[in-house]
Structure 1
């Protein structure tokens, strides 16, 4: 008789493990693809961030006219100082025979101390400016002091200001016009205790105890030989785009010239962020051959990706191929080496700017246009575009498209993995069930075989 035996438990476990490994192989392969795709998404995220930073730095050179590129100088700052806007024309301006605009100032006779009560009770003051404007300051009931009078005048904040100056012999009320120029002259008419502060130079009976310390006067000077009269010490329209502040009498010379300082700083910022963007792309697309130091070849996760390689090339070309009005990027201090490292030399920039500021400004404007086009293609633009349907929407760049495509692939693979896992689990359960059934049948057959052996053995003995 042929014997019947079952597989050992370890043999069954081994066969199930082998089958399970075969089922897991395609799942593992798909999961490896997901890991690789996620690494690419991460790399694109870093590139997008670097390009966004570059795009932000470009805003500083978008409008060259808004960048202050004028410098000013004054040979004698004790006479005048000067500032200039971008629109100011370069030139040298001579200021001669400068006299300052002055406020009117009068002071009272000595009247005890600032806190001494004024005799004569309450009263009011009426200030009449040369312009014809009249202001009245009334003091309420109660005792009056010089300090009270000065506080009431200043509280009104009109055309006259007041202060109290104390001396060892007593205090004086000092009144000064708030503005300068001949139109700031004023007269004073007082009532009650304040009648003693009357002041009117045109009247022989209305000067009270007030003394004229300084008459109101206009500023006067000649600018390149042209006489100028001004009620203030600030000349904002004598030279277009230039503001002159007079600070003392005398003669001085002013100059306005082009200056690249702020523009240079903005270009430096663009160069720094451009360098970072190129370096980020280079890291993602690099290939390092095997050597004794690194053992095996190394490559970036985007090696061979056309979009990434092309973006790096375009960014590098924006510098290497930049020329405007006969001025190259290199002549203006902006250069890039073969590996993509960007550098900026502010000294060279200033030197070239001094030779031809218009050409350098145009060069920077062209740099903006090139890089803005490249960054907008990569990350989209912040503005809106109109579709054929008439609606507006922000444009998106190819990096977002690359990322969306990779996410779509990952979603699809995840779905396949889920399906394969379910199918594999069902197949394993079915195999285990088959083995269990086979084990049961084999065990039953083995028992039957044993009985048959016993029966045959007994029959043989009896027959003998």
Structure 2
């Protein structure tokens, strides 16, 4: 029996073409499943984008639902270089007159000039105390709760730059830096904090035996109470002095945080006249929050319209065209947009304050009308933020936040729809795999049948040739 090495040789049939044609018919259900899978994936991706836009709307609604946005204030200063002000949640509208007599300062001292930053200062121990010097520098009172901090300067640590590093690493309440000029390198020592109680005293146990001279480590000593001022005083520690509405204020820093409720006041320079501070309701931030809400809603509305539309001319449809979850959400959003709240007396609808529903489902903001409405802030706040259990009195932003929370919640419509799409994609993929297996088995069966046919036809063709030869021989005889 001849061996068939290529399909169709024995039978003279186009086996590959026949099998391919039959398999193409078998693969039609797979092609349909692939198309469906692509559509499912597109819908799932579109719902993901919708959820992102809806989250932005939820956040904008939540912001308008919170009391803090409606209590926001802003402050202005007639001279912000001298006095600058920021407000906190507890600030109330009002006006203040502030005059600055002096600024808080840190004590500053400087050593004699050394040849360079690598020059040797000396060895020994620096004793650092923080506290208050009296006006004449005759008495030093240690800071309450403070203690002396000792900094040992040994061999190899006694150059100017290494002494600087030792002081800065000690955390003694003072900092050191090197100042270079034409006279050489000087060590500048400064209190880490401003205020009279953060002055410093430096006494020295000098390895050269003299603690009060200007040689060796004693060059850094500052103890005028005992007549030692090797470190020259350049600036005294001082408190800030100011008057607020005629009331004297004394502060260790130039930032006044507890002097006026809800205000942080920063003193920048001494003044020759009062600086006027005005604290007002921050309608600009409220206006922005309302406008952001309108923008967030419009973005969701435009996205849903685009994804659910059907173009009769091109016969093209959006990814969510006909999707019940999407169409239900559109209905709910429109109802929340055009609804009324009886919580506000003057304003009950968004259109009343300049947020007009447009024909395309978005919100058109009338800035002039909104600005006018912000003059009645209490009524706008009630319309947006009232948290009443009565549905009719609930604020419109409260309702929108609730709607979006429910839609995106664990059991929400959007979440359920996305879960359903994922399950459908999983089922679709499994069906494709099953049909691919069936097609593979069909191909295997068809090729086996045609191979057997080829072998049979080859045998019959050989027998036919043999009989023809025998008959020819018989006729010759």
TM-score band by shorter chain is 0.5 to 0.7
Q: 1:136 to 1:371 in 2, by over 3 A?
A: same
Q: 1:263 to 1:195 in 2, by over 3 A?
A: same
Of 193, 198, 211, the residue aligned with 2:221 is 198
Q: 1:38 to 1:335 in 2, by over 3 A?
A: farther
Asked if the contact 1:69–1:259 (Cα under 8 Å) also holds between the matched residues in 2, the reply is yes
User: Is residue 58 of structure 1 aligned with residue 67 of structure 2?
Assistant: no
1:399 & 1:112 partners in 2: Cα distance? 75
Of 240, 259, 265, the residue aligned with 2:261 is 240
Q: CA deviation at 1:169?
A: 3.5
Bigger mean CA deviation after superposition, 37-46 or 206-215: 37-46
2:419 & 2:238 partners in 1: Cα distance? 73
- Correspondence 1:266-285 to 2 at 5 A: 266-283=289-306
Of 377, 380, 397, the residue aligned with 1:360 is 380
Q: 1:349 to 1:116 in 2, by over 3 A?
A: same
Q: CA deviation at 1:254?
A: 2.0
Q: CA deviation at 1:41?
A: 9.5
TM-score normalized by structure 2? 0.64
**Match for residue 184 of structure 1?**
198
Question: Between Structure 1 and Structure 2, whose CA radius of gyration is higher?
Answer: 1
**Match for residue 224 of structure 1?**
245
User: Is residue 127 of structure 1 aligned with residue 128 of structure 2?
Assistant: yes
User: Is residue 373 of structure 1 aligned with residue 396 of structure 2?
Assistant: no
**Partner-residue secondary structure (3-state), 2:180:** strand
Asked if the contact 2:339–2:396 (Cα under 8 Å) also holds between the matched residues in 1, the reply is no
**Partner-residue secondary structure (3-state), 2:224:** coil
Q: 1:44 to 1:317 in 2, by over 3 A?
A: farther
- Correspondence 1:93-132 to 2 at 5 A: 93-118=96-121, 121-130=122-131, 131=143, 132=146
1:171 & 1:33 partners in 2: Cα distance? 83
User: Is residue 313 of structure 1 aligned with residue 336 of structure 2?
Assistant: no
1:96 & 1:284 partners in 2: Cα distance? 62
Deviations, residues 142-174 of structure 1 (Å, cap 9, x unaligned): 473333322221222321122233343344332
Deviations, residues 77-102 of structure 1 (Å, cap 9, x unaligned): 22121111233212222111341111
Q: 1:318 to 1:167 in 2, by over 3 A?
A: same
**Match for residue 9 of structure 1?**
none
Bigger mean CA deviation after superposition, 223-232 or 151-160: 151-160
2:319 & 2:180 partners in 1: Cα distance? 83
Of 88, 93, 97, the residue aligned with 2:91 is 88
Deviations, residues 278-312 of structure 1 (Å, cap 9, x unaligned): 334445665778xxxx4x99987988887655532
2:162 & 2:33 partners in 1: Cα distance? 87
1:402 & 1:111 partners in 2: Cα distance? 76
Q: How many residues align?
A: 372
**Partner-residue secondary structure (3-state), 1:212:** strand
2:179 & 2:422 partners in 1: Cα distance? 82
Q: CA deviation at 1:258?
A: 2.2
Deviations, residues 41-98 of structure 1 (Å, cap 9, x unaligned): 9668746742552234322441434559432222112212111123321222211134
Of 149, 172, 175, the residue aligned with 2:186 is 172
Q: CA deviation at 1:262?
A: 4.0
TM-score normalized by structure 1? 0.66
1:110 & 1:161 partners in 2: Cα distance? 18
**Match for residue 3 of structure 1?**
none
2:422 & 2:162 partners in 1: Cα distance? 80
Asked if the contact 1:302–1:308 (Cα under 8 Å) also holds between the matched residues in 2, the reply is yes
1:181 & 1:253 partners in 2: Cα distance? 25
Q: CA deviation at 1:187?
A: 1.4
Asked if the contact 2:58–2:404 (Cα under 8 Å) also holds between the matched residues in 1, the reply is no
